[in-house]
Chains A and B, each alone.
Chain A
Amino acid sequence: MDFFGNLIGGFQTALSLHNLYLCFVGCLFGTMVGVLPGIGPLAGISLLIPATYGINATGAIIMLAGIYYGAMYGGSTTSILMNIPGESASVMTCVDGYRMTQKGRGGAALFISAWGSFIGGNLSIVGLMILAPLLANFATRFGPPEIFAVLLLAFILLGSLGQGSFFKTMPMIILGMFLGTIGMDPLTGTLRFTHEIRDLYDGIGFIPVAMGVFGIGEILSSAEGSIIRIVHRVKLRELLPTRQELRASWAPVLRGSGLGFIIGLLPGSAHILSSFVSYAVEKKVAERPEEFGSGRIEGVAGPETANNAATGGAMIPFLGIGIPTGPATAVMMVALMIHGIRPGPLFISEQPQIFWGLVASMYIGNLILLILNLPLVGIFINLLRVPFRILFPLILLICLVGTYSVSSSTLDLIVLLGSGILGYIFRKLNFDLAPFVLALIISPLMEYSFRQSLMRSAGSFSIFLSNPITITLLGACGLLFIWNLISSLRPTKPAWKKALEKD
């Protein structure tokens, strides 16, 4: 079937009443998750996984993806109206967005943010539907050595792009990879680090670790202090931007779309990074950069567009080759695996109704989110009036039940709590947690492909240098490693990295 035929088929799937309903639920829940500080898209997706057991894989992924991109929309609301980022990708929006609110232009900031998110989101879906099948087609040529090289490059990129220095992020990746080795060895059946605990034979569950690190860990951090919330009200008529504001935001929206999409392809916290880079670029190209921080619409339009465009980019490696580049896409992959589907190079050709149904639902979801985040923004603002001391016990309970429901194991709950404590400690120590969680899910595949490669070549490492793909990928790994080594010896850091560390 041709490209447009597939897309029409996707719309037929996405527009069924059942899938429309699931898309709406995902977008609504995603916006709520984005609005509420303390719950990110990852915790949101994990919490709704049990709700997908009774529905088919297409409906499940449509709903979970809705939470993912919906959270990016919702995150801007708290940043603009309260100066508190509802989602980590909205940190930069606080700078100029809240200033605009103080000047009485909060409504316009919300409008431009939602509009930019809509444009960025849609453009990135166009990129997704063009690039993902191409990447999948290319990846069918991949054998174990190529997969190992891709994953090694992904880890080195993760280390380079994470918060803090390369040599601070790499130990987190190694720790995550080490945890990933727990359980039964897939090649020999040998039990590793299980200490005769039967529930550990399948390894440490990804969901308990991700929920613990990002859900429980976040709550433990938030419980240390109290957040005083001053919520600004916005009337419907205040949402309309002036002609000058609209004119000023077009270029940042287009630049943010391109930047966000490209950065979304990179492993790690791409949506956070994209908003920082977009802000830095807007400041760089502005005629009066000194005005940034005092309520410039470009400072809202660029980052908000970029973090939404990054969601489409992040879906490409996940759906095209089955390698998630961020914790949120990793949880979506686990959800698909629960339904018996493993994304990989053959996923798009073997499960076209899921892929194209998801793509079409993302267009529909972006439209739903535009409506939810503009005329209905007042409803979500009311959510912020619920005191945190009522909200967090409820979030804790949902995390516990959500984790238990996956495999009815008490050990999973202990892993959840342990990961929460670990997440809390590493948060206090200023370490990036996304690489740790990603390494946990990717490391079994990396080990498997490494050992399989050596078995194929009778122990010769030359197999990793036997074709142009592995040579290019490993060459890039080497160059990146040397670049990181040199930059760790130099005291200067790029502006976006400084901003990330400050956060």
Chain B
Amino acid sequence: MSREFTAGLIFILAGIYGLIFSRQLPLGRWNEPGPGVFPMVLAFLLVLSGVLMMAQGKKGREEGEGEQEILKPLMAPGQIVLLTLGFILSLERVGYLGTAMAYMLLLFLWVCRYRLGPALGMAAAFGLGSWYIFVKILGVQLPLTVPALGL
């Protein structure tokens, strides 16, 4: 897929979503524009931009500009996304300290390729250190350390 084609597709999908759901909103009249007018116009412009961009991408290919491959190594970014999703889903269930340490450990082991010993050490240091700085020094409200124990 060329860059323009991929980008065009994203804009069209976003626009179609906008068009579908903005139809459920009141449009009002010109002297009292409703909450649906602005999103509907924007959604239409998104679809239009997407179509134009896809057409431009196709034209570029026909003119021999060459396709630029965008699917380069996705392994590390994919791993980071998965682990971050895991962090988000378990933060309020497991509590900050446990989640942060597990997140750090898996990042160091899986993505950064550290051995278990150093990875454990760094995960513990960063997990505890960040908890101390954020909760104790900066006073940030984070989920309980171990909710199951009422801590």
A residues near B (Cβ < 8 Å) are 50-51, 53-54, 167-168, 170-171, 174-175, 177-178, 181, 185, 187-188, 190, 192-193, 216, 219-221, 223-225, 389-390, 393-394, 396-398, 400-401, 404-405, 408, 410, 413-414, 417, 420-421, 424-426, 428-431, 447, 450-451, 454-455, 457-460
Contact = CB atoms under 8 A, between A and B. Distances in A.
A72 to B, nearest CB: 26
B10 A396 contact: no
Given A190-B35, A193-B21, A451-B33, A400 B52 contact: no
Contacts of B30: 454, 459-460
Contacts of B87: 400, 413
A428 B142 contact: no
A397 B104 contact: yes
Q: Tell me whether chain A's interface is mostly helix, strand or loop, or mixed.
A: helix
Given A171-B46, A178-B14, A389-B112, A417 B7 contact: no
A459 B80 CA distance: 51
Contacts of B122: 390
A223 B107 CA distance: 12
Contacts of B116: none
A214 to B, nearest CB: 16
B116 to A, nearest CB: 15
Contacts of B53: 167-168, 171
A398 B130 contact: yes
Contact of B25 (A190, A223, A458): A190
Contact of A192 (B7, B35, B45, B46): B35
Contact of B77 (A394, A398, A424, A450): A424
A167 B45 CA distance: 12
A413 B31 contact: no
A429 B54 CA distance: 13
B98 interface: no
A181 B46 CA distance: 14
Interface string B15-59: 000100110011001111111111100110110011011000000
Interface string B48-72: 0110110000000000000000101
A404 B142 contact: yes
B63 to A, nearest CB: 12
Interface string B70-109: 1011101100110011011101100010001001100110
B6, B77, B122, B142: residue with the most chain A Cβ atoms closer than 10 Å: B77
B52 to A, nearest CB: 7
Contacts of B91: 404, 410, 413
Contacts of A220: 77, 80-81
12 contacts: A175-B14, A193-B21, A220-B81, A221-B77, A224-B73, A393-B103, A400-B84, A401-B140, A420-B81, A447-B38, A451-B38, A459-B32
Given A174-B46, A175-B46, A459-B30, A187 B80 contact: no
Given A224-B76, A393-B107, A405 B142 contact: yes
B70 A429 contact: yes
Contacts of A420: 81, 84
B47 to A, nearest CB: 10
B142 A185 contact: no
Contacts of B52: 167
A50 B92 contact: no
A51 B138 contact: yes
A322 to B, nearest CB: 20
Contacts of A455: 31-33
Nearest to B11: A171
Contact of A181 (B34, B42, B77, B89): B42
